[in-house]
Amino acid sequence: MISQKLDWQSKLVLLTVVPWVTIAVYIATGDWGRGAPEVAYWTLGLSALLGLLAWAARSGTFAASGIGALIAASLMYASVQQPYSPLNTALMPVLALLVLTSLATRYGRGSKERMGTAEKRHGRVASQVASNLGVTGILALTPVQIWLIDSRLFWYTGLAPTPILIPALAALAEAAADTVSSEIGQVVGGTPFMLTTRERAEPGTDGAITLAGTLAGVWAAGVVAGVGALALDGGVQMLLVCWASGVFGLFFDSFLGATLESIGLLNNDAVNFLSTASSAAFSLVLLAILPHPGIG
C-alpha cells in the first residue's frame, strides 16, 4: 500500500530523466552528424545494440532497455576523444555495469525465488533504469558540462574529454555497487543487519546489508571505475575518486533505506536516484579538496 502511494516518485524520476536525456541525444546527434558523422553512426548504432542485448537477455523490459540505450548514447557523445574510437568512450564502463549487474542478478536465482526477493523474469522496468542511471545521463548534458569546465573547482581541467565524466562515472560505479551488493548478499551473505542499528533483519529489508554483499559492491564499484578510467584516459586519480565516491553512495543508499524508505517517505526508485546523485556530489567534494597535481 505504501509502495503504491509513492509511485509518484518513480514517475517523477522518469519525467525528469527521459525528456532531458532524449533532448540531449537529439541535439548531440545533430551536431556530430554535421561535423563528424562517424561519431553519430557509431554512437547510435552501439547504444541501440546495447539496449537490444539487454532486452534479449531479459535484463530489462523493452522500455527500460530503450532508456538505457539513450543514456549510453548521451555518455558516448559526452566522452568523444580524438582520434575517435568508440572503445575510448563511456560505452565501456556502461558495458561493464551491464555485465556485472546481469551476472549478479542471475547468480543464485533459485535461492532468491524461494525467499521472494528475485528480480522479475522480464528484468528491470523503466523507472528502475532511470533511477539507477538517470543522474549519469543528466550529467552528460552540455549546459552542465560547460558550467563545470568554466568553474575553478577542478584540478582535472586538463582531463580528456571533460571533467563531467568524473561525477558521471562515480554515479555509474554506485549503480553497479548497489545492484551487485544486493544480489550477491541475498545468496552468500547470510542474515543481513541494519546499517543504522546493527540489528539482524530479514533478507530484502530496506537498509539491511551483509558483509559479503558489501564487499561485492565495493569490488563492483572498483571494476566500473577502473574500466572507465582506462577507457577515458583518466589515470589513477579518476579511478580512486570514482571508486571512493561509488562506495560512499553505496552506504548512503543503505542509510536512506534504513531511515526514509523504511518509514514510507521514499520508495526504492527515489532512494536509488538520490544515492547515485550523492556519489556524483561526493566526487565533486573530493575534487575540490584534493591538492592540484604538482602542488605540495
* Confidence check: pLDDT of 100 > 90: yes
Q: What is the pLDDT of residues 131-167, one digit of tens each?
A: 999 999 998 765 545 444 444 444 444 444 446 689 9
**Beta carbons of 161 and 174 less than 8 angstroms apart:** no
Side-chain-facing half-sphere of 98: CA atoms under 13 Å: 25
* Confidence check: pLDDT of 105 > 80: yes
Contacts of 251 (CB under 8 A, 6+ apart): 195
What pLDDT was estimated at residue 116?
64
Confidence of residue 294 (pLDDT cuts 50, 70, 90): very low
3 state DSSP class of 286: helix
* Confidence check: pLDDT of 21 > 50: yes
What pLDDT was estimated at residue 3?
59
Residue located via cell numbers 547515485: 276
Confidence of residue 259 (pLDDT cuts 50, 70, 90): very high
3 state DSSP class of 242: helix
Orientation angle between helical segments 268-289 and 126-139, nearest 10 degrees:
20
Mean pLDDT of 42-70: 95
What pLDDT was estimated at residue 147?
47
- Strand-pair partners of 208: 194
What pLDDT was estimated at residue 153?
45
What pLDDT was estimated at residue 253?
97
What pLDDT was estimated at residue 163?
61
AA identity, residue 224: V
Of the listed ranges 44-53, 125-134, 186-195, 271-280, the least confidently predicted one is 186-195
Q: What is the mean pLDDT of the chain?
A: 87
* Confidence check: pLDDT of 109 > 60: yes
What pLDDT was estimated at residue 122?
67
> DSSP readout, 75-94?
HHHHT--SS--GGGSTHHHH
Q: How many CB atoms lie within 10 A of CB 280?
A: 25
What pLDDT was estimated at residue 1?
43
Contacts of 200 (CB under 8 A, 6+ apart): 191, 192, 193
What pLDDT was estimated at residue 274?
98
Cut 0.85: pTM above it: yes
Q: How many CB atoms lie within 10 A of CB 240?
A: 16
* Confidence check: pLDDT of 186 > 60: yes
Q: Which helix (H) or strand (E) is 190 found in, with range?
A: none
**Angle CA 100–270–162, to nearest 5:** 60
251/161 Cα distance (integer angstroms)? 30
More confident residue, 2 or 61: 61
| Cell numbers at 79, concatenated | 566522452
**Beta carbons of 5 and 263 less than 8 angstroms apart:** no
